Amino acid sequence: MNKEDILKVLKSKKSLYHLKKFILFGSVASGTNKVDSDIDIAYIEDEKRRLNFDNYLKLENELENIFKTKIDLINYKNFNPLVKLHSEKEFIYV
């Protein structure tokens, strides 16, 4: 699945899970991904409707089934500051 298709899927899932944004980052965002690369996705929650653990697992599972690969799904609030500093220029916001 190409980057544009991934962004379309993320856009469609955003309102279903009451998320403000998704952020695609890592090798897929930079265009350096390989066939066996995982997909790195961060999400920004709506402060009024947080993503509970069950919905987090459901979302991660849905994305893995759609994309047929491992998804590294993280809350942007928990993003490692050093990784953020080095990856931010490649962030693609949805």
Q: What is the set of domains in the chain, with CATH numbers? A: 3-93 (3.30.460.10)
10-69 confidence digits (pLDDT tens) = 999 999 999 999 999 999 999 999 989 999 999 999 988 899 999 999 999 999 999 999
Given a cut of 90, is residue 8 above it in pLDDT?
A: yes
Name all contacts of 14-20 with Cβ < 8 Å and 24+ positions apart: 14/94, 17/43, 17/51, 17/55, 17/59, 18/45, 18/46, 18/49, 18/51, 19/43, 19/44, 19/45, 19/46, 19/51, 20/44, 20/45, 20/46
